[in-house]
Amino acid sequence: MIEVDNLTKYYGTKIALDKVSFTVRKGEVLGFLGPNGAGKSTAMKIITCYLSPTEGSVKVDGLDVFDDSLEVRKRIGYLPETPPLYLDMTVKNYLEFAAKIKGVDKKNLQESVDTVVDKCGLSQYYRSQCRALSKGFRQRVGIAQAMVHNPLVLILDEPTIGLDPIQIVEIRHLIKSFGGEHTVVLSTHILPEVDMTCERVIIINDGTVVAEDTTSNLRSRLPQTEQIYLEIRGNSSQLLSKLEAIQGINSVNEDKCSDNIIIYEIKADNKTDVRPEIAKTVIGENLELLQLKDVSLTLEDIFINVTMK
Amino acid sequence: MRNALAVYVREIKSYFVSPILYIIATVFMLVVGNSFKDYFIRFAMMTMQALRQATNSGGEVPLFNINSYVATNMFAFMNYMFLLIVPLLTMRLYAEEKKTGTMELLMTSPITTTQVLIGKFFSCLTIYFFMMSLTIAFVVIMMIQSNGKLDWGPIFSSYLGTFLLGSAIISIGMFFSSLTENQIIAAAVSLSIIMGLWLLIHSARYITPPYNDLISYFSLSDHLDSFTYGFIGINHIVYFISMTVFWLVLTGINVESTRWRQ
């Protein structure tokens, strides 16, 4: 659906994107990850025809963003970093205006607006001025604006920024529900968000793509030790040394909490699963096993790993 | 067309919800009205004096033309006021959209820069026309006071001249609004450019021919005089329209080029 080929963008002499290439398949939800200033927004602005690339090409639905700009824009819904609201308009008037300039037919106009108002949970603020809305609701109006013409592609620049935790969950569900029907590209630096909403991730740093894969593949690609979290109740002075003796375990860190509860942080090879062995040892010592879990690598680790290289 | 209309309607609504239009229109009517009152009283005194003299000496009562004593002065003053007011109307057109980020909505929607431009230009021209129409009140007063002997030709041509002047200075204001995201700068720069073009005719005096004609040709004021005397010259109409088109095209190029100039 989106083909980005050797995309390069200079701001003056400063390079923002350096030969970036990737593709986004139809119906996919793609996460665009990167530290501040990595070039996420720039890439999105080029895909949405807001900026022209210095070199390289971007095709959306087979159409070039430079040659068929208007056609591409019909197929794209875009939420910029700050929602582009006319503060003196009501939500109703604003969405109607957005629908009109995005080429929604007169007879479908009301229906389109009602649909997005419903989807984005805006009905209670339908007649309020945008000026009166909180940050979170402005963000929702921004998302509603982006999808009012039912576009093939949705480009969302940090869609959950400034929202409260409940709203974040709602917006994530909303975005996830777009997948399949719409192609979604969203940028963020909140990593769990990518984990929850995206099927595939592109990590971008200093204007270049440093990693591109599914989240689970990215995890397994890293040669890392496994971390295991163990929580027991009881008193045993021998457990620590017995745990250290298990084959595959590299190091054990003991941390005494309150009331006989001891927490162990165990580092092991990821070749063998040492958890059954740990459980047996704990039971063998006549201790109560409260928790035993695999603390696998988070996207943060991957992120730091690939961007620091 | 539909897109331009959507922008037009939005802009008109936006003018009417903000207090600035009401403030400007009120001040405009107060100032123009006050000057109209002055011209009118002066005219009344003059006619009364002449009447007294005529009855005393038994001579004939001279005829005074209300058009040339009141209407011409009022239109000249109104035009001058518009030079000061229009930058305040145009300053927000692009600068505000750039500041609030709504420019990104317009630039990424399937709507051309020209459609946006046309919508914005005509919305401002409509507001201008609306303010200009308020002064019809003064024309009605003149008509009543002159027992219907008002000469309608110069009145109509003066309005046409003011309207054409408006379209030219609105397009200048729009261009400078598209250059910056600061409305104050947009207003200040357009005001100085408009004033410069207005006063250009005075500098023509110090320049040797044939260049003085060229310089004065570019001056806005040079093309307005004949309208107030009731003369509609095609060359003057062409001047104002080409001035409008020139600045509008420049605005369009400037807005479109921001895509690759960044």
In this prediction, residue A99 carries a pLDDT of 92
- Judged by CB atoms closer than 8 Å, whether chains meet at A50 and B110 is answered as no
A73: nearest CB among B7, B101, B110: B110
d(CA B116, CA B120): 6
B104 contact A CB<8A? yes
Domain ranges for chain A, please list them.
2-220, 222-296
Q: Quick one: which H or E segment has residue B94?
A: helix B92-100
Structure tokens at B247: 């600045």
Banded model confidence at residue B129, pLDDT cuts 50, 70, 90: very high
- Judged by CB atoms closer than 8 Å, whether chains meet at A73 and B3 is answered as no
A292 CB-contact burial (10 Å; exposed 0-12 / middle 13-18 / buried 19+): middle
B23 CB-contact burial (10 Å; exposed 0-12 / middle 13-18 / buried 19+): exposed
- Judged by CB atoms closer than 8 Å, whether chains meet at A89 and B101 is answered as no
Residue with tokens 């909140």: A190
Q: E strands within chain A?
A: 2-11, 14-24, 29-33, 55-60, 63-64, 76-79, 153-157, 183-188, 200-205, 208-214, 226-233, 249-256, 261-268, 288-295
d(CA A226, CA A267): 6
In this prediction, residue A29 carries a pLDDT of 87
- Judged by CB atoms closer than 8 Å, whether chains meet at B259 and A88 is answered as no
Residue A214's beta-bridge partner residues?
A200
A119 CB-contact burial (10 Å; exposed 0-12 / middle 13-18 / buried 19+): middle
Domain A2-220 listed as CATH 3.40.50.300: yes
In this prediction, residue A289 carries a pLDDT of 84
The one-character DSSP state at A38 is: S
Structural domain A222-296, CATH architecture: 2-Layer Sandwich (3.30)
In this prediction, residue B9 carries a pLDDT of 94
B257 vs A contacts (CB less than 8 Å): none
d(CA B239, CA A63): 42
Mutation target for A interface from B105, B114, B123: give the one with most A CBs within 10 A. Answer: B105
Q: Among A257-266, A291-300, B28-37, B87-96, name the one with the lowest average pLDDT.
A: A291-300
Residue A226's beta-bridge partner residues?
A268
* Residue B254 pLDDT > 90: yes
In this prediction, residue B205 carries a pLDDT of 79
Residue with tokens 């109740």: A233
**Which residue in B has a C-alpha nearest to residue A89's C-alpha?**
B14
- What separation in angstroms does the CA of B262 have from each of A61, A158, B17, B175, B237? 26, 22, 33, 18, 38
CA A241-A247-A249 angle, 5° bins? 70
B17 vs A contacts (CB less than 8 Å): 88
Residue A160's beta-bridge partner residues?
none
Mutation target for B interface from A10, A13, A69, A101: give the one with most B CBs within 10 A. Answer: A101
Polymer length in residues for chain A: 309
B104 vs A contacts (CB less than 8 Å): 50, 78, 80, 84
Q: Quick one: which H or E segment has residue A157?
A: strand A153-157
In this prediction, residue B79 carries a pLDDT of 93
Chain A nearest CA to B179, separation (Å): 17
Mutation target for A interface from B11, B21, B104: give the one with most A CBs within 10 A. Answer: B104
pLDDT, mean of residues B11-38: 93
Polymer length in residues for chain B: 262
Instruction: Name the CA dihedral angle for A219, A220, A224, A229, rounded to a multiple of 10 degrees.
Output: 70
Percentage of chain B lying above the pLDDT 70 cut: 100
| Contact indicator for A40, A32 with CB cutoff of 8 Å | yes
B14 contact A CB<8A? yes
d(CA B170, CA B133): 17
Q: How does pLDDT run across B156-173, given as a tens digit for each residue? A: 999 999 999 999 999 999
Mutation target for B interface from A50, A70, A135: give the one with most B CBs within 10 A. Answer: A50
**B31: helix, strand or coil:** helix
d(CA A76, CA A153): 5
B193 contact A CB<8A? no
Q: Compute φ and ψ for A63, nearest 5 degrees.
A: -105, 140
Residue A212's beta-bridge partner residues?
A202
d(CA A192, CA A187): 12
- Judged by CB atoms closer than 8 Å, whether chains meet at B109 and A98 is answered as yes
In this prediction, residue B163 carries a pLDDT of 95
A200 contact B CB<8A? no
Residues of chain A below pLDDT 50: none
- Judged by CB atoms closer than 8 Å, whether chains meet at B102 and A86 is answered as yes
Residues 77-106 of A with CB under 8 A from B: 78, 80-89, 93, 97-98, 100-103
d(CA A70, CA A183): 19
| Contact indicator for A216, A230 with CB cutoff of 8 Å | no
In this prediction, residue B236 carries a pLDDT of 92
A48 contact B CB<8A? yes
B260: nearest CB among A52, A70, A73: A52
d(CA B131, CA A160): 45
Amino acid at A53: P
Q: Compute φ and ψ for A58, nearest 5 degrees.
A: -130, 130
Chain B nearest CA to A290, separation (Å): 53
| Contact indicator for B6, B115 with CB cutoff of 8 Å | no
Residue with tokens 């007294």: B52
Structure tokens at B81: 């006021």
Chain A to chain B Cβ contacts (< 8 Å) = 71
Residue A15's beta-bridge partner residues?
A10
In this prediction, residue B11 carries a pLDDT of 94
